[in-house]
Chains A and B, each alone.
Chain A
Amino acid sequence: MGVLDFLANGFATAFQWHNLLFAFVGVLIGTAVGVLPGIGPMSGVALLIPVTASMTGGLGPEAAATSSIILLAGVYYGAMYGGSTTSILLNTPGESSSVVTTLDGYQMARQGRAGPALAISAIGSFAAGLFSLVALVFLAQPLSDAAIRFGPADYFSLMLLGLAAVSGLAGKSMTKALIMTVLGLLLATIGMDNVSGVARFTYDQPVLYSGLEFLTVAVGLFALGEVFKTILERDYAKGEVTKVGRILPTRQDLKDSAGPIARGSVLGFFIGILPGAGATLASFFSYIMEKKISKTPAKFGTGAIEGVAAPESANNAASGGAMIPLLTLGIPGSGTTAILMGALIMYNIQPGPLLFEEHPQVAWGLIASMFIGNLMLLVLNMPLVKVFAKIIETPAKYLLPIIVAISVFGVYAVQASTFDLLLLMGCGVAGYFLSRNDFPLAPLVLGLVLGPMIENNMRRALTTSNGDFSIFFERPLSAVFLIAAVLWLVIPLLLKLRGRKVIINEEG
């Protein structure tokens, strides 16, 4: 079967009525998550994993996995659409990938052009989403065909590269990022060792035998951590919401933004594929690039539509690009994709080269649903943007406790243990204090998700080589990955030593 046949089957899956519903709910909630300044895509996806797990309870295992990943991915790219709304109307980005959109978006809103700004960001996001999906369709098969030849040693080194990339770019201090990575890997070793069956660090506590549940830790760190931050820093004072006005962009607006949308899509997609660099970096770079090649760079910052179109397309393209390493290699490149991967693993579906062979329904169903979801988002966002703008006015008074209640409900619904609820609270507090002191959380979650796989592959490789560590350098592919990993960590250090400013990825 060719790629197009697979895609057609994927559409058949995605067009099942319940999957259409799931995609719709996903993008709707995603847009809301993007609009609400309190929750970003990471906490949004983490919060919804348990909810989708209970919603899909009646389906077969593979169908359940397909439906929930469709919904969760919808939240992820939906948030990219929604994030621009607050940037433009309130001058406060809904999530970090929309920070640059405030520069020109808010200026446009002040000039009474909020409607066209919102419309252009929706159109740009749609075009970029389509572009990155088409690229995903054509890259997925060759990449997973290549990855299927990887041995355990290659996998081990590739995962190290993924961890190194995320740690190298996350947060202000690389030492702290590395500490968080190692902490995640260490926490992943708690519980039953799945190679030898020996219980590690459990101290005969039955709750620890299955290890710390990824879901509990992720919801605690991101969702609760964010709520605690908002409460502690009294971050819920509201600004003035600008009127939206007329929505349709003029012909001149469309003409001006066509170029930036195209360039932003391509750039964003390739930045998204890179592990460690995510939507935030993509939007940032595309804004800089537009400013550089523009004939009138002075216009930027005063309400230029190019300054809205480029970053908004780039962050959406990046979220599509980030699905490539996740689906084909099984390596998440960012915090949000790590959470998506954790969700897939919960359903006993291992992302990676075998995904396309063993579970074509999941992989292609997801890809097809992303086409549909992007279309839904465009339709939702153009006429309904005024409704979404209203969501901003949800009083924090009700929102914050409800997020806590949803977290508790979600974790209890899946885990049904008081221990997990207390762990959830502990992770929330830890998440807040760690991120307040510049300890990035994304590497921790990545370490927790990748930990067992890294260990398995390492031990399988070492078993074939009789405990000789040189196997990782002797296999050429593995050696290349390891060198790349080292370079990824060393080059920023060298640049820093020479006094250069290194751009980091706040979102992780």
Chain B
Amino acid sequence: MNKPFDRYASMAFFLIGAVFVWESRKISATSYGSSVGPDIFPMGLGILMMLLSVRLFYEVFRSKAASGEKQIYDYKRFGIILAAAVLYAFFLEEIGYLIGTTLFLFIGFQVIEPGKRLRSLAISAAFSVVVYYVFVVLLEGSLPGWPVWFS
């Protein structure tokens, strides 16, 4: 058991439960003909969530420290890829699918294993073009193809 994570997680889940209980009190009880409104279910679950997180906190408190096995995490690569993915997701509609996907894939390939740039670029461009062609041209789906300022 990873103690710090579980401790913070139990607090976070307690808060989530509390927020749901608190917010569900604001839901107006509008369901005529029935005494069970839309607030009962989330409120009950929120209370249950709070109880469970108290129980988790207690379990973490009682458990012994984590065993010595240490895993080395590659936060640098993860960080770059995650950032690239979030930017890709955020700007997809602005820069369009073709450019966005090619860029993201190229960065991803190069971050995981640098080198063979031409090949990486070719694969990423090919992937985006094939997906775009199949989805938009053959299946008549809609994707933003090119940047908004192109058209």
Contact = CB atoms under 8 A, between A and B. Distances in A.
Interface of A: 54-55, 57-58, 173, 175-176, 178-179, 182-183, 185-186, 189, 193, 195-196, 198, 200-201, 228, 231-234, 236, 395-398, 400-402, 404-405, 408-409, 412-413, 416, 418, 421-422, 424-425, 428-429, 433, 436-439, 455, 458-459, 462-463, 466-467
A467 B31 CA distance: 12
B103 to A, nearest CB: 11
What are the 3 A-B residue pairs with the smallest beta carbon separation, nearest first?
Answer: A401-B108, A421-B89, A467-B35
**Interface SS of B by simple majority:** helix
B61 interface: no
Contacts of A396: 112
Contacts of B92: 408, 412, 418, 421
Given A400-B112, A408-B88, A458-B36, 14 more contacts: A178-B52, A189-B20, A189-B45, A195-B38, A198-B30, A231-B78, A231-B112, A234-B72, A236-B112, A396-B112, A398-B123, A401-B112, A402-B127, A405-B105
Contacts of A433: 5
Interface string B1-30: 110011001000100110010011001101
A425 B101 contact: no
Contacts of B104: 401, 404-405, 408
A405 B85 CA distance: 9
Interface of B: 1-2, 5-6, 9, 13, 16-17, 20, 23-24, 27-28, 30-31, 33-38, 40-42, 45-46, 48-49, 52-53, 55-56, 59, 71-75, 77-78, 81-82, 85-86, 88-90, 92-93, 97, 101, 104-105, 107-109, 112-113, 123-124, 127-128, 131, 135, 139-143
Nearest to A411: B89
A294 to B, nearest CB: 34
8 contacts: A182-B45, A182-B52, A231-B78, A401-B124, A408-B104, A413-B143, A462-B36, A463-B33
A404 B81 contact: yes
B108 A422 contact: no
A100 B127 CA distance: 36
Given A398-B109, A404-B108, A466-B35, A422 B90 contact: yes
Contacts of A183: 13, 16, 49
A421 B97 CA distance: 13
Given A54-B135, A231-B81, A418 B38 contact: no
A189 B35 contact: no
A195 B39 CA distance: 11
Contacts of B13: 179, 183
Contacts of B24: 200-201
Contacts of B2: 436-437
A165 B93 CA distance: 42
Contacts of A182: 17, 45, 48-49, 52
A397 B108 CA distance: 8
Contacts of A231: 74, 77-78, 81, 112
A425 B85 contact: yes
Contacts of B40: 459, 462
A463 B36 contact: yes
Given A401-B105, A433-B5, A437-B5, A198 B28 contact: yes
A424 B90 CA distance: 11
Contact of A459 (B34, B113, B123, B135): B34
Contacts of B113: 395, 397
Contact of A200 (B1, B27, B59): B27
Contacts of A176: 56
Contacts of B45: 182, 185-186, 189
A467 B36 CA distance: 6
A418 B87 CA distance: 11
B85 A408 contact: yes
A418 B109 contact: no
A467 to B, nearest CB: 4
A401 B131 CA distance: 15
A495 B82 CA distance: 42
Contacts of A413: 135, 141, 143
B73 A179 contact: no
B88 A57 contact: no
B50 to A, nearest CB: 10
Contacts of A228: 78, 82
Which of B30, B34, B72 counts the most chain A CB atoms within 10 A?
B34
Contacts of B105: 401-402, 405
B108 to A, nearest CB: 3
A156 B104 CA distance: 45
A466 B36 CA distance: 8
A418 B100 CA distance: 13
B38 to A, nearest CB: 4
Nearest to A420: B89
Contacts of A173: 1, 56, 59
Which of B27, B85, B88 counts the most chain A CB atoms within 10 A?
B85
Contact of B142 (A175, A400, A416): A416
Which of B34, B41, B73, B93 counts the most chain A CB atoms within 10 A?
B41
